[in-house]
Copies of this chain bind each other. A is one copy, B any other.
Amino acid sequence: MKIKIIVTLKSGVLDPQGKAIQQTLNGMGFLDVKDVRQGKYFDIETNETDEVKAKNKVDEMCKKLLANLVIEDYKIL
């Protein structure tokens, strides 16, 4: 089965890349854009067929590799 994950910077953490995108969008005429935050997205395809077990495994992967919990949050969709 396929599990989707979103990893985002915690709200206090500076996001210069998001800021650059926001400024570019403003410069292109999208003046309503107030803030942009960029994050990462992962699609994990696993052989595990039990959804609960698969999500538990993915939670472990997030903690050990995919997210840096000091500055990032993750959400398993």
Given A38-B40, A38-B41, A33 and B46 contact (CB-CB distance below 8 Å) = yes
Number of copies: 2
The interface residues of chain B lying within 8 Å CB-to-CB of A43 are 8, 18, 35-39
CB distance from A70 to the nearest CB of B (A): 19
Nearest-neighbour CB distance to chain B for A76, whole angstroms, equals 13
Task: Tell me the chain A residues, 59-77 only, with Cβ under 8 Å from chain B.
Answer: 60-61, 64-66
Chain B residue nearest in CB terms to A45: B35
- Whether the Cβ atoms of A28 and B66 lie closer than 8 Å is no
Binding site for B on A (CB under 8 A): 6-8, 18, 21, 24-25, 28, 30, 32-48, 54, 57, 60-61, 64-66
